[in-house]
């Protein structure tokens, strides 16, 4: 059963208005990730991927991620749109978040701008931010979207949504 999209109000984006296949767009808002009380990634040169039923996924230029916080890359899954992904453990201070970041080293041509860019799951981090707003992780543990103010759903990822 398909969900009923929430109609967007002023200054809101509905994830049901996002395209399929997904769209990649540059983001000039300040993006930030914190773990163990430290800012481990911060940029104003990120990208976001917008896909039907998903909150945006944000990608950071590798040079805007603190050196040494990512463990060795290990092969992960494949995205039908972006290609083969790698996962990273994220380490800061005494905190270790296993498989909490990922990248596409050689994405498909439509996503070549994010080759090597790093995305973070919001759940294991102390906080992920778009501008000054702390995001909420996308429901479930599989997808890595960030729900910021003004992004409305319902969102894929929670119980019963795998068939959407």
Per-residue pLDDT tens digits for 60-88: 999 999 999 999 999 989 999 999 999 99
The answer to whether residue 2 is domain-embedded is: no
The answer to whether residue 4 is domain-embedded is: no
The answer to whether residue 39 is domain-embedded is: yes
Q: How far is CA 35 from the centre of its chain?
A: 16
The answer to whether residue 11 is domain-embedded is: no
- Residue linked to tokens 């916080």: 69
The whole-angstrom separation of Cα 84 and Cα 76 is 7
The whole-angstrom separation of Cα 151 and Cα 164 is 18
Per-residue pLDDT tens digits for 33-55: 999 999 999 999 999 999 999 99
- 10 by Cβ neighbours in 10 Å (0-12 / 13-18 / 19+) ranks as exposed
The answer to whether residue 131 is domain-embedded is: yes
Per-residue pLDDT tens digits for 100-147: 999 999 999 999 999 999 999 999 999 999 999 999 999 998 999 999
Confidence of residue 1 (pLDDT cuts 50, 70, 90): confident
Is the previous residue joined to 21 through a cis bond, with omega within 30 degrees of 0?
A: yes
In the chain, the number of structural domains is 1
The answer to whether residue 126 is domain-embedded is: yes
Q: What's the pLDDT score for residue 2?
A: 83
Per-residue pLDDT tens digits for 84-108: 999 999 999 999 999 999 999 999 9
Q: What's the pLDDT score for residue 76?
A: 86
Full strand arrangement of the beta sheet holding 23-27: 23-27, 46-51, 54-59
The answer to whether residue 56 is domain-embedded is: yes
The answer to whether residue 116 is domain-embedded is: yes
Q: For residue 37, give the CATH number of its domain.
A: 2.170.150.40
Q: Are 147 and 6 in contact (CB under 8 A)?
A: no
Token pair recorded at residue 62: 């590798």
For 96, the domain range is 18-152
Is residue 163 pLDDT above 90, yes or no? no
């Amino acid at each position: 059963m398909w969900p009923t999209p929430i109609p967007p109000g002023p200054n809101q984006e509905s994830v049901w208005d996002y395209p399929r296949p997904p769209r990649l767009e540059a983001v000039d808002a300040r993006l930030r990730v914190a773990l163990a009380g430290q800012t481990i990634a911060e940029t104003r040169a990120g990208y976001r991927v917008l896909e039907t039923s998903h909150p945006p996924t944000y990608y950071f230029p590798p040079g805007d991620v603190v050196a040494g916080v990512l463990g060795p890359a290990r092969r992960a899954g494949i995205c039908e749109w972006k290609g083969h992904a790698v996962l990273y453990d994220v380490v800061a201070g005494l905190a270790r978040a296993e498989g909490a970041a990922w990248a596409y080293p050689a994405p498909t041509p439509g996503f070549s701008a994010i080759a090597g860019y790093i995305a973070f799951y919001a759940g294991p981090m102390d906080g992920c931010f778009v501008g000054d707003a702390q995001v909420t992780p996308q429901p479930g543990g599989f997808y890595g979207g960030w729900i910021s103010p003004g992004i409305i759903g319902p969102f894929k990822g929670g119980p019963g949504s795998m068939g959407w």
